Amino acid sequence: MESSPRTDHQNGGGGAAVARPVPQAQAIADLWSEYLGAEAKENDDFFALGGTSLAGIKIIDRMADDYGVRLSVRAFYLAQTPARVAELIAQGRAGT
């Protein structure tokens, strides 16, 4: 998995890690719904919902801002579902 927690330094501060909430799968599904224009549930497939590369990049950027963990495009696409994406973010927040 390629993800890294954002530091305060990356956000213009001094370098300490910024505490961000770890999302639940439904919160990620709600975010997908916002960008895809279709209702997403925890185990729905990104591409089956009509996900595109542009939508994926926008979602990745938004998750980095909201949760402080930037997933690689590859990791995001391989995860495929909000539940798996939430797991990756939780792992990134744990430093694994």
CATH number of the structural domain spanning residue 88 = 1.10.1200.10
Q: Which two tokens stand for residue 16?
A: 């300490």
Q: What is the pLDDT of residues 49-85, one digit of tens each?
A: 999 999 999 999 999 999 888 999 999 999 999 999 9
**pLDDT confidence of residue 91:** 86
| pLDDT band at residue 23 using 50, 70 and 90 as cut-offs | confident
Classified as helix, coil or strand, 64 is helix
Total domains in the fold of the chain:
1
Domain holding 10, by residue range, is 3-94
pTM of the model: 0.73
Contacts of 95 (CB under 8 A, 6+ apart): 5
